[in-house]
Amino acid sequence: MSDAPDHKALLGKLVAFDTTSAKSNLPLIGFVEDYLGQHGVASTRVPTEDGKKAGLVATIGPVNKSGIALSAHTDCVPVTGQSWSSDPFTLTARDGRLYGRGTCDMKGFVACVLASVPSFVAADLKEPIHIVLSYDEEIGCVGVRPMIERLGKNLPMPRIAIVGEPTTMEVVDAHKQIDVLTTTVTGLSVHSSEPDKGLNAIRYAAALIMEIERLVEEIAKEHRDDRFDPPRTTAEVGTIEGGTASNIVPASCQFQWLMRSLPEDGADAIPGKLQAYAEKTLLPKMHAVSEETGIETARQVHVPGLQAAANSEAVALALSLTGLNAPHAVSFSTEAGLFEQTGCASVVCGPGSISQAHAPDEFVSVDQLDACMTFLGKLKDRLSA
């Protein structure tokens, strides 16, 4: 791929855009649009309703066939509170590694895709290659959803999606699903000298948290899948807030928790059992104090898991391009499950290690980027044959 632009230089330009999820990604999207345009590739923006962010879809090759989608998100996580050895938004090379926010997750893959565009354009592609860039993946795969809704309508429907999340260029055919839930406990506030006249919302929230722990252990005994690490469904309480002062029985408590479920466990196994526990054990006691008390759990985020079919053409393609013999599973989540739900066979394969993602001094190795360039070159050759 000697005709390709320098993917490392392109990565430097991408890292320089601070696309933390709380900020706009439009400067980066504008850069990609201009870059594609310079190579004669038209693109379509899919903006948010307020116009502050946008996804992007571009097609290279014949428009009357389904083709292969190369999917990536443009947002990254914050650097707030992290100690970096160099400016996180300036690409820094040290010892065969390229440091910067998003280098691994997942601007390294985007840089490789963009660097491959001239060779894609020059090739006699028999099937198209679609570039799909989304926003707000880090807060629940938000930006890819409106684009997926348009696939097969006014956007092309690919037959295969390759999501370039960091897998050290190994082939991933399964990942866990994510659910983020918020549980709110409403108690009754009274003076702390008369606690029996009120209801301590924090105490009941604590009981619910302990029940979540018990349910996680219970479901782990029922289902185990050693392809994953850890090999079970997990749930963790991430934030908790409640009360106003130590001498006031707290009237409210709210905690947010996250589940990473095995594909076979489903999204409702633990929340359903938690609700049953609340209704049987806690709510009768609470309502005996006041009918105004209660427990409510709401799901904020659901990202489906990925479980590719046994004969998945996406997995077969990725294995043939990498030269690997078998796929594996990961515990993090991606946009691949959403593509798979549309009937688009999906697989995850990209440069870098998830261990470096979201961390201070995030990096991707040059070797990993080079391997990704080779992968994309083989894809181009395969679609040109």
Annotated catalytic residues are 75, 137
Burial (CB count within 10 angstroms: exposed 0-12, middle 13-18, buried 19+), residue 223? middle
Distance from C-alpha of 344 to C-alpha of 261, rounded to nearest angstrom? 22
* Amino acid of residue 199: L
Decide if 298 contacts 182 (C-beta within 8 A).
yes
**Closest by alpha carbon to 105, among 328, 363, 367, 376?**
363
Q: Could you identify the residue written with the tokens 């489906």?
A: 304
Distance from C-alpha of 109 to C-alpha of 11, rounded to nearest angstrom? 9
Q: Is the dihedral of CA 317, 321, 322, 324 positive or negative?
A: positive
Q: Could you identify the residue written with the tokens 């280098």?
A: 103
Output the six-digit token pair for 233. Answer: 């469904």
Distance from C-alpha of 254 to C-alpha of 363, rounded to nearest angstrom? 36
Residues in the chain: 385
Give Cα 376 distance to the centre of its chain.
22
Residue 350 burial (CB count, 10 A): 32
Buried b (16+ CB within 10 A) or exposed e, 264-302: ebebebbbebbbebbeeebbeebeeeeeebbbebeeeee
Decide if 75 contacts 173 (C-beta within 8 A).
no
Burial (CB count within 10 angstroms: exposed 0-12, middle 13-18, buried 19+), residue 222? exposed
Beta-bridged to residue 99, according to DSSP, are: 92, 363
